């Protein structure tokens, strides 16, 4: 999932300082799971902002909403309609950066502010703890490394590791960081696939996955069929 962390209240307050009617919108998927922007967090942020403005004697109308996902048109549509119908001046999105981008694209003349800092693609390793496990690099090599990603989980993103800087299974940068290549080797021993590591991987061509504008995936069979009007 995409892991995020809520921005400080003072920063959020600063975003909407000049607007009198603001809608806070949560996201019911990733942001909810990591306790950064779900329905509960929307209520907490809304209450805190109201109190902050009241203390300064400023009148602000803070509205609240939460949709299933802020990255799909069918769910964002009701937010767009509400903004237009209720004369909302600004939106504070508690979704990941994707959600903020997408909602902003639907609201041409209404500012959309980010309510959380998007951190990484990760997983829950224990209650309240999330760890990065994927860099979204676009050329997955997990079949060669026992299902453990060296791009995201190795501190140096080494493709043909280990580097020799680990100690007792921990990375040299910190005793709290596991050496990804120790994890890979131990995992592949258990799978009896250690011989795969004898294959030397060539340097990655990052130009195909990191540059050249926004990446996209297209399934032609899912796109709506265009029907043109016949000319008389």
Ranges of each domain in the chain: 2-119, 137-208
pLDDT at residue 232 in the model:
44
**Residue 140 CA to its chain's centroid (Å):** 19
For residue 204, name the pLDDT band (cuts at 50, 70, 90).
confident
Which of the two residues, 162 and 102, has the higher pLDDT score?
102
- CATH code: domain 2-119 is 3.40.50.2300
Q: Name the more confident of 210 and 187.
A: 187
pLDDT at 167 over 50: yes
Residue 108's pLDDT is 85
Residue 223 has pLDDT above 80, yes or no: no
In the structure, what pLDDT confidence band is assigned to residue 228 with cuts at 50, 70 and 90? low
- When pLDDT is averaged across residues 194-214 and rounded to a whole number, the result is 75
Average pLDDT over residues 16-37: 96
Answer yes or no: is pLDDT of 104 > 80: yes
Its pTM stands at 0.84
Cα 94 to Cα 115: distance, rounded to the nearest angstrom: 5
């Amino acid at each position: 999932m995409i892991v995020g962390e809520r921005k400080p209240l003072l920063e959020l307050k600063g975003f909407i300082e000049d607007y009198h009617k603001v809608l806070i919108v949560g996201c019911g998927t990733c942001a909810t799971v990591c306790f950064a922007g779900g329905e509960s967090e929307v209520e907490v942020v809304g209450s805190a902002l109201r109190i902050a403005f009241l203390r300064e004697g400023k009148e602000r109308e803070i509205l609240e909403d939460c949709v299933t996902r802020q990255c799909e048109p069918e769910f964002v549509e009701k937010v767009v309609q509400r903004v237009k119908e209720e004369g909302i001046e600004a939106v504070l999105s508690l979704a990941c950066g994707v959600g903020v981008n997408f909602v902003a694209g639907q609201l041409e003349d209404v500012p959309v502010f980010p309510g959380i800092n998007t951190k990484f693609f990760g997983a829950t390793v224990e209650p309240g703890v999330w760890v990065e496990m994927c860099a979204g690099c676009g050329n997955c090599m997990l079949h060669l490394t026992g299902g453990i990603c060296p791009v995201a989980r190795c501190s140096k993103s080494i493709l043909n590791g280990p580097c020799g800087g680990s100690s007792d299974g921990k990375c040299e940068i910190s005793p709290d960081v596991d050496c990804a290549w120790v994890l890979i080797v131990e995992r592949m021993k258990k799978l009896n696939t250690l011989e795969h590591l004898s294959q030397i991987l060539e340097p990655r061509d990052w130009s195909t996955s990191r540059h050249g504008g926004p990446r996209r995936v297209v399934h032609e069979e899912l796109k709506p069929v265009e029907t043109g009007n016949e000319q008389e």
